């Protein structure tokens, strides 16, 4: 069977640095920080009092069909906004010959924010003599719980909103593999196009975990930075003083399609998806294999799938969370795969400016790879001050760098040991 070429024809994003692709890119290259005091809830008593929130996004004003999605959760609203940007850029909204049964959607999106205030109130009202009165609870819950808020807890709700908005009648999938989710979604979406299962597909990710439950969990894991006195520079991937990641939120969506279709309809091709690799650490739930074997396997698989050699890669968008373990393990993995070339390949982590968007992280970072190819400039790892002997690659510290780039690798590694890697290139 002929392997079809897969190209990117549209991109959109809503994130802590910007509400579209170009404003985000300008902010990244200006080394701006999306990190600030948490305002979505009172986090003053938490070990971490800050995050990377999406600020000022007015869904009702910025999305044309907002009333249709009036019950959409925060992450769904971000995804709808990002998807509309990507859809319009792709030109598919004007392509009348599009067969909707050959249009798919494949997302890596997380659950929505719980209605904590209402839930806690009902729980307190139903608590009797040190236990939950289930009869009382059922009476209160059935009468007062918001159906729409509760259904938004399902991680496929973003998928449902997007499929309905864009008339997707083909395959629809959602995956939630933590921080690797949207990279996995894009990789598997590309394989759908490559095999001929669909002609075009909406893919990417969305997540919003900046709520009491999300922050409590990551604080208990000691995964979050607690640098409350230096908030704007708290995310420090690969720096010796790094002390954890900064929790962010947002959505990024891309349109992938068959190269032949894109050419026939005169679409502007942004980049080509060359390869995808995946692996599992099979080590621990919250810890990576300390030798980096799983991460290295993912990168090698992507290289094999793409037909590229390590010498072809001109930039690596690192997972680079800013935790002690992740950054040292990723460095080891890059060295294992690239050997003597490892120190010569520029590597950076835009999480230093954006924060960690969890399920939306990989898609957002892949967009920056497309822009690096387009503009011949590499985004920096900001807030890099003190070199770590265990992290000794070229991390593009503190300032963007001009470079001719045609082939990029993007890594995402998720809790549970999921490893995913994409390779994209300029499209000749």
Question: Catalytic residues, which ones?
Answer: 179, 319, 356
Residues facing residue 412 across a β-bridge = 420
**Alpha-carbon distance 144 to 354, whole Å?**
37
Is the distance from CB of 180 to CB of 98 less than 8 angstroms? no
**Cβ neighbour number for residue 126 with a 10 Å cutoff:** 18
Is the distance from CB of 334 to CB of 302 less than 8 angstroms? no
Print burial letters for 346-358: b (CB count within 10 Å at least 16), e (below 16): bbbbbbbbbbbbb
- CA nearest neighbour of 415 among 223, 235, 240: 223
What are the CB-based long-range contacts (under 8 Å, 24+) for 137-143?
Answer: none
- CA nearest neighbour of 409 among 276, 316, 308, 321: 316
Q: What is the DSSP string of 141-196?
A: HHHHS-HHHHHTTSTTHHHHHHHHHHT--S-EEE---GGGHHHHHHHHHHHHHHHT
């Amino acid at each position: 069977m002929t392997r079809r070429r897969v190209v990117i024809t549209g991109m959109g994003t809503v994130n802590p640095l910007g509400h579209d692709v170009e404003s985000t890119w300008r902010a990244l290259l200006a080394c701006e920080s999306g990190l600030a005091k948490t305002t979505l809830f009172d986090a003053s008593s938490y070990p971490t009092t800050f995050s990377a929130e999406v600020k000022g996004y007015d869904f009702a004003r910025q999305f044309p069909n907002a009333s249709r999605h009036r019950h959409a959760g925060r992450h769904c609203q971000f995804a709808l906004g990002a998807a509309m940007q990507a859809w319009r850029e792709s030109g598919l909204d004007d392509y009348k010959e599009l067969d909707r049964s050959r249009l798919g959607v494949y997302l890596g999106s997380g659950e929505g924010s719980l209605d904590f205030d209402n839930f806690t109130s009902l729980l307190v009202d139903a608590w009797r003599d040190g236990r939950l009165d289930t009869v009382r609870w059922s009476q209160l819950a059935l009468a007062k719980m918001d159906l729409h808020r509760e259904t938004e807890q399902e991680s496929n709700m973003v998928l449902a909103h997007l499929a309905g908005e864009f008339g997707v009648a083909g395959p629809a999938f959602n995956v939630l593999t933590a921080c690797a989710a949207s990279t996995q979604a894009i990789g598997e979406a590309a394989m759908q196009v490559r095999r001929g299962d669909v002609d075009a597909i909406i893919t990417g990710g969305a997540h919003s975990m900046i709520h009491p439950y999300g922050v409590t969990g990551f604080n208990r894991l000691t995964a979050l930075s607690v640098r409350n006195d230096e908030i704007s520079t708290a995310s420090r991937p690969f720096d010796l003083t790094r002390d954890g990641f900064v929790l962010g939120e947002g959505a990024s969506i891309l349109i992938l399609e068959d190269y032949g279709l894109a050419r026939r309809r005169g679409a502007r091709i942004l980049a080509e998806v060359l390869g995808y690799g995946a692996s599992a650490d099979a080590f621990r739930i919250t810890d990576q294999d300390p030798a980096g074997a799983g991460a290295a396997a993912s990168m090698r698989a992507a290289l094999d799938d793409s037909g590229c050699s390590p010498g072809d890669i001109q930039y690596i968008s690192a997972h680079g969370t800013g935790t002690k373990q992740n950054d040292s393990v990723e460095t080891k993995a890059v060295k294992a795969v690239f050997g003597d070339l490892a120190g010569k390949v520029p590597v950076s982590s835009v999480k230093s400016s954006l924060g960690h968007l969890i399920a939306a992280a990989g898609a957002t970072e892949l967009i920056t790879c497309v822009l690096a190819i387009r503009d011949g400039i590499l985004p920096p790892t900001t807030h890099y001050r003190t070199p770590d002997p265990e992290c000794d690659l070229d991390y593009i510290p503190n300032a963007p760098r001009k470079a001719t780039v045609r082939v990029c690798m993007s890594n995402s590694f998720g809790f549970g040991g999921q490893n995913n890697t994409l390779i994209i290139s300029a499209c000749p």
